[in-house]
Amino acid sequence: MAMAFNEEDELLGRVYDRALAARLLRYVRPYRRAVWIAVVLLLFIAGLELVGPLIIREAIDGQIAQGRTDRLAPLTAVFVGSLVLLSALRYSQELLMVYVGQRVLMDMRLELFTHLQRMSVSYFDRNPVGRLVTRLTNDTAAIEAVVSQGLVTIFTNLLMLVAIVGMMLVLDWQLALVMYALLPPLVIVVRYFAAKQRDLFREQRMWLARINAYLNETITGITVVQLFNRERENLRRFDERNRGHLSAHLRFLMWYAVFEPTVVLFGAVTTASIIWYGGGRVIDASLTIGTLVAFTAYMQRFYWPLREISQRYSGIQQAMASAERIFGILDEPEEIIDPAEPRHLTDVRGKIEFRDVWFAYVDENWVLRDVSMVVEPGESVAIVGATGAGKSTMTALLSRFYDVQRGQILVDDVPIDQLAQQELRLHVGIMLQDPFVYTDTIEENIRLRDRSISPERVRAAAELIGADGFIERLPDGYDTMLAERGANLSTGQKQLLALARVAAFNPEIVLVMDEATASIDPDTEAVIQRGIHEVMSERTSIVIAHRLNTIRAVDRIVVLEHGEVAEEGTHEQLLAREDGHYARLYELQYKGQDVAPA
Amino acid sequence: MASRVVTPERITDTGPRHKNPLIKYVLRYKWHYAGGFAALVFASVLSMLPPLVLKIAIDDLTAGTTVSRLAALGGIVIAIALVESAIRFGGRLLVSSRARWIEYHLRDDLARQFLRLDRSFYLRSRTGDLMARATNDLNWIRDFMGPTVNDIWFTVVMLTVGLTFLFSIDVRLTLLSIVYFPFVAGVVIYLETTLEDKFRLVQEQFGHLTNRAQENVSGIRAIKAYAQEESEVESWAADNRELMRRALSFGRWVSGFFPMMILATGIGTALVIWFGGRDVVAGDITLGQFVQFNVILRMLASQLTVLGWVVSAWQQFIASLGRINEILREEPDIDEPAEPRVLDTIRGDVAFEGVTFEHDGRTVLDRLDLRIAAGSTVAIVGETGAGKTTMVDLLTRVFDPWEGRVTVDGVDVRELSLQRLRDAIGVVPQEAFLFSESLHENISFGRVDPPADDVDEALKTSQLSNDLEQLGGGLDTLIGERGVTLSGGQKQRATLARALLKRPPILVLDDSLSHVDTNTEEEILRRLRVFMAERTTLVIAHRSSTLAAADRIVVLEDGAIAEDGTHEELLAADGRYAGYYRRQLLREQAAAEERELAVEDQGQSGTAAGDRADEEGAQS
């Protein structure tokens, strides 16, 4: 499937949402020791950041202005020492937060993934693959970025601002007050610009979402566009969106470009104030030149944090929106729940019973109506019927992918909802029509990465159903890597793989989905036929049959029509009925195969 | 078979259109860039003046001065800053706005290319990847062409101008304070390359993880069926641990970057305190110069940190540009004739002459010969994969035949302009694809602003007029994701109306009434006969009613014609068609009974929903 371009993903969250923040904080709690250490380090870092200008002040006032150089060496040494310490502390602190961020990320991904594994199949029916994958990967990453960088950067910078403000007060409260007087207008201007940028940023994202949606649709429907000679008109409409995007960007740029000059201007005003007011104070000797220089140095350091803070803002917005989406999934309740005290199956014989089963996917649109059927241990039953008659639904229900609305399904006379889902499924194996294939080796694909199944058992299973022939002809045999969705296997080979899988897991009950597929070459077809028979023999089996040979081989045929059992019997019995359902199905679907060699 | 052989290779050798479109746009905006760069030169010179004023002030203070003189100096600083701000603002705007324009042009080029490229390109490409190029890659290019280029230039200029000022103050001190610059540059480059490798490892593992997630979610049925949830969680955890290990290994290096820069730049300051302090005392430089030196050095040091991410931005830029150019350099296999034949009117004679077409190494059509006279209705029957849809694709030039030719009014379709050819053919495709726009927009897709009468006629013929009220907004009803979801039958009828509104001389229905109920279908066919009286109609169909209504039936088998004749003739011959027709009747009979049953249960929509759910249930 193509990447999903959900407009919801383009939206930004609120920056601060108390409930959301509290919930996010819970993920950090296990690592609170590391966080506290980082905070303590921060205090030292902010303090050390102040040392430089102080040393320069001391060098000027205590030494240079006095015409002395005797203490310049120790001053320099102290300065270098503070630098080394500062970089070491900064490094440790950043490392700590990267560590915390990564741990939080992993915890979150694991929790989300584990939660998804517990969701029922109907949940996956409702949610597109792309969306869930984005939640697992990108949304969690957005949160990590904020934990490891965003929050700390903002905190560090705020602390540095406070430290600088405090230190200036200590050095000379009067000059400090003059500097403070400049702050309110600066803060107001920066906030105003930030707000403007935020609005325009949102507008940019909106236009980008429109561009994506339009482009996505054009690409998906490209044949229609071309056959109807719509290229020019579509380009015109695309251009409207492209221009809208450009214009939002250009307007954003105005506010962005004005930010830096503003900072330059404020910097100049502070320097001017220091020269004028501070200089005046030096003239009446109430201030030293060293302090004056220290002030300029502090003010030079003042703007950097401001800028950093405003830059991290949108990252936090994105993370909050991601958090909301992730929690949305975590809050979805499980639909199919294991019983509190599950019963266990011992020595499974493999009896299956559908007892007055009613089932609908939606509301009361019954797919199965009052279906009752017993399959004795070791018996094989084929279910036939038109598309939509409810055949595959029956197998999905037996695996408890969905719960029935009325009636019961029993395995060895135990209702399946009294068993743990995993235990039930270990005894009920399914051979899927278009089997799911990992991008992994053949061996791992047969045992589904279940390490409790030995390589020998994998090989024995493949031999049993006759898949060893094609596997051994592959370049690396059982170690051959399969491409995405098994693209390097033919349909027939994939079905053999699915059969080998069933044989390797060796369940007592097997459900075989054997519906119509695209052409499979006659040789492979014959191998599959034998494989299916092999898998079905000595097991209780239900087969959704397409191949006539398979139907003929079963003990009993159940004809399903409109969700009801219409007929039951052997092939010959059913065919003998004049105008029976099976007779007609046979005429439609199977007769053509009759001439084919068995 | 004397027809010429056209291999796909022969058609593509027209060569790339632009060598590098980005260069074209940079050249177009060269004066903007030049202006922006010049502005930055001015700005960097100006930015060196406040430290100079500070120096003057300090030297004045040591020598003795007045407050009014200091105030004047303050005024100068502000005046300089005003000019500098204005220049910086202008320069940044010039360059960054052009970067946005370049993004706009490139995206436009991409869109044009997407519209121009043909099916064979789209068969090779994944939508997600194409979209990523149009968004992420363009972002990287824009960011590089704007802020990054600005920053690189500004760094170069600042270093040059700053060093000039420093040298003019004290050569020895300058040399001392910049000895470590090459060292910093070396470390930065070393770190960058190491980081690059480590980052690639992180990205690889992240890609692996994404695949894992994708596989897990799409294979959830099999995983549940084999109770493998726990082993899935285990391997997910293992993959995540590996990602964390790599991320931390990357983090160990990247976290070192900023502290290292602090250390390196600080050492410069330390050297200046140590040596510069002695110089002041020795009378080589003034105290003011000492301060000025410090301030400038700090400015240069903070500018130097920019280098850190320029390297990676450059690599991203080059990679993204390559991916964009790759698409822009694609040439469609289906090309316009250099001098297209002009046909004023098209009657609608269609012929396939010895047409062979292969796909994925399989012969889909094998020397197919078929003539369809203008004004006739021909039904094409055959199994899935017999080549029916391919015939439509060749007629409309979605593909070109490997051998033989397809003609319209005796003219090879490859000699007509694509526009002329496709205007003459109304296709109702198998998959009813509609766009998320209004119903009106959708049906007038092939003809902008059609006259109301024509719209009316198309709606009536396709039997869509009765549905308008039910849709709520009539023709203005929004379709698709953000609007009303039409039923399968409604969608098909909308696509039929869309084709009819073109009033094409040739109409092709590719199994396109399958979801329309039988009564409505019969009414549509009745109206179509009137509408298409003088036009050619090609129908791919299964329904008995459609088959019986055609002038002629062609049975396609393995890419060649197996039977050809009227409905009655073929029934009488009792061959493939007769068997096929009988099975179809049985199937329809069964379906009709099913419907009756559904009506009895008043669950009409129920069966449809059940069908869908059951089909989905069968998929893994």
- List the single residue in A133, A280, A584 with the smallest CB-CB distance to B213: A133
- Whether B134 sits inside 8 A of A215 (CB atoms) is yes
CA distance B174 to B166: 6
Q: Which of residues 162-221 of A touch B (CB under 8 A)?
A: 208, 211-213, 215-221
Residue A243 lies in a domain: yes
Q: Do A388 and B611 touch (CB under 8 A)?
A: yes
Establish, for the pair of chains A and B, how many residue pairs have beta carbons separated by less than 8 Å.
449
Interface check B216 vs A, CB under 8 A: yes
Q: Is B453's Cβ below 8 Å from some Cβ in A?
A: no
- Would you call A425 and B225 a contact, using CB atoms and an 8 Å cutoff? yes
Chain B (586-605) residues lying within 8 Å, Cβ to Cβ, of chain A: 586-587, 590, 594, 597-598, 603, 605
Kindly determine whether residue B267 and residue A430, on different chains, have CB atoms separated by under 8 Å: no
pLDDT at B604: 37
Residue of A212, A304, A391 with shortest CB distance to B131: A212
In a domain, A62, yes or no: yes
Contact (CB<8Å) A242/B597: no
Nearest CA among B540, B509, B514, B525 for reference residue B379: B540
Note the pLDDT of residue B601.
46
Q: Which of residues 4-23 of A touch B (CB under 8 A)?
A: 5
**Is the CB of B332 inside 8 Å of chain A's CB atoms?**
no
- Cβ atoms of B334 and B361 within 8 Å: the answer is no
Within a domain: A570: no
Distance from CA of B583 to the nearest CA of A (A): 6
- B-chain CB neighbours of A216 within 8 Å are 127, 131
Question: Which phi and psi angles does B305 have, rounded to 5°?
Answer: -60, -25
Residue of B nearest to A226 (CA): B115
Helices and strands, number each (H, E), in chain A: 25, 10
Handedness of CA B22, B27, B29, B31 (dihedral sign): positive
- List, as ranges, residues 102-161 from B with C-beta within 8 Å of A: 103-104, 107-108, 111-112, 114-116, 118-119, 122, 126-128, 130-132, 134-135
Q: Which residues of A touch B596 (CB under 8 A)?
A: none
Nearest-CA residue of chain B relative to A512?
Answer: B618
pLDDT at A351: 92
Mutate to test the interface with B, among A212, A227, A281, A398 (most CBs of B within 10 A): A227
B249 inside 8 A of chain A by CB = no
Give contacts of A209 with chain B, Cβ < 8 Å.
none
- Inter-CA distances, A285 with A271, A362, B57, Å: 19, 88, 15
Query: Does residue A341 lie within any of the structural domains?
Result: no
Q: How far is B14 from chain A (nearest CA, A)?
A: 21
Q: What is the per-residue pLDDT for B432?
A: 83
Residue with the two structure tokens 């305190």 = B273
Q: Please give the C-alpha separations between residue B462 and each of A210, A552, B520, in angstroms, as whole numbers.
A: 32, 46, 9
For each of the domains in chain B, give its residue range(s) and CATH number, in order of start: 2-328 (1.20.1560.10), 350-586 (3.40.50.300)
For the beta sheet containing B350-359, the strands, ordered from the edge strand earlier in sequence to the opposite edge, are: B362-372, B350-359, B403-408, B411-412
Amino acid found at A404: V
Q: Quote the pLDDT of residue A16.
A: 64
Residues paired with residue B411 on neighbouring β-strands, in sequence order: B408
Closest-CA residue in chain B for A519?
B385
Residues of A in contact with B70 (CB under 8 A): 275-276, 279-280, 283
- Choose from A109, A226, A405, A506 for mutation: most chain B CBs within 10 A: A226
Please, which residues 523-582 of chain A have a Cβ atom closer than 8 Å to chain B? Answer: 544, 562-563
pLDDT for A143 equals 85
Q: How many CB atoms lie within 10 A of CB B260?
A: 19
Q: What share of chain B is helix, strand, coil (3-state, %, to 5)?
A: 65, 10, 25
Do residue B135 and residue A208 have CB atoms under 8 angstroms apart? yes
Closest CB from A1, A361, A426 relative to B609 = A361
Which pLDDT value is given to residue A461?
92
Residue A493 lies in a domain: no
The answer to whether position A189 is within a domain reads: yes
**What span, in angstroms and rounded, lies between the C-alpha atoms of A180 and A166?**
11
Q: What are phi and psi of A504, to 5 degrees?
A: -70, -40
pLDDT at A14: 58
Instruction: Provide the pLDDT for residue B18.
Output: 56
Tell me whether B620 touches chain A (CB under 8 Å): yes
- For residue B325, give both structure tokens: 């150019």
pLDDT at B482: 55
Contact A226 B398 (CB under 8 A): yes
Q: What is the largest CA-CA distance in chain B?
A: 123
Contact A224 B445 (CB under 8 A): yes
Tens-digit pLDDT profile for chain A (598 aa)?
A: 233 344 444 455 555 677 888 888 899 899 999 989 998 998 898 889 889 899 989 998 988 888 888 888 899 999 999 999 999 999 999 899 889 999 999 999 999 999 999 898 888 877 777 778 888 888 888 888 878 777 777 787 888 888 998 999 999 999 999 888 888 888 888 778 877 877 887 788 788 888 888 888 888 888 888 888 888 889 999 999 999 999 999 998 888 788 778 888 888 888 898 889 998 898 888 899 899 889 888 887 877 777 677 667 767 777 888 888 899 889 988 888 889 899 988 888 889 999 999 998 877 778 899 999 999 999 999 998 776 678 888 888 998 989 999 999 999 999 999 999 888 988 998 887 667 788 789 999 898 888 889 999 999 999 998 889 889 888 888 998 887 677 777 778 888 888 899 899 889 998 887 765 545 666 777 788 888 888 888 889 998 877 777 788 889 999 888 888 888 998 888 888 877 888 887 777 666 555 433 3
Interchain contact, A242 vs B108, CB within 8 Å = yes
Residue A306 belongs to a domain: yes
Contact B131 A87 (CB under 8 A): no
DSSP, collapsed to helix, strand or coil, labels residue A318 as helix
Shortest CA gap A16–chain B (Å): 27
| Contact status, residue B40 vs residue B153, Cβ threshold 8 Å | yes
Suggest the residue from B199, B273, B296 to mutate for an interface test with chain A (most A CBs closer than 10 A): B273
The C-alpha of B446 sits at a distance from chain A's nearest C-alpha, in angstroms, of 5
Residue A445 domain flag? no
Q: Cβ of A346 under 8 Å from any chain B Cβ? A: no
Nearest-CB residue to B281 (from A67, A269, A428): A67
Q: Do B251 and A98 touch (CB under 8 A)?
A: yes
Verify whether the Cβ–Cβ distance B247 to A235 is below 8 Å. no
Q: Do B233 and A67 touch (CB under 8 A)?
A: no
With 0-12 / 13-18 / 19 or more C-beta atoms within 10 angstroms meaning exposed / middle / buried, residue A20 is middle
Q: What is the extent of the structural domain holding A63?
A: 21-330
User: Does B428 touch chain A if contact means CB atoms closer than 8 Å?
Assistant: no
B-chain CB neighbours of A201 within 8 Å are none
Which residue in this structure is represented by tokens 């510069």? B276
| A427-461 b/e (C-beta count within 10 Å ≥ 16 → b) | bbbbbbbbbbbbbebbbbbbbbbbeebeeebbbeb
Domain count of the fold of chain A: 1
pLDDT for A9: 46
Low-confidence ranges of chain B (pLDDT < 70): 1-19, 308, 384, 481-484, 590-620
Q: Identify the pLDDT of residue B15.
A: 38
Closest Cα of chain A to B376: distance in Å? Answer: 22
B80–chain A Cβ distance below 8 A for any pair:
yes
How many Cβ atoms are within 10 Å of A577's Cβ, its own excluded?
12
Q: What are phi and psi of A454, to 5 degrees?
A: -75, 155
Q: Which CATH number belongs to the domain containing residue A132 in this structure?
A: 1.20.1560.10
Q: Which residues of B touch A484 (CB under 8 A)?
A: 211
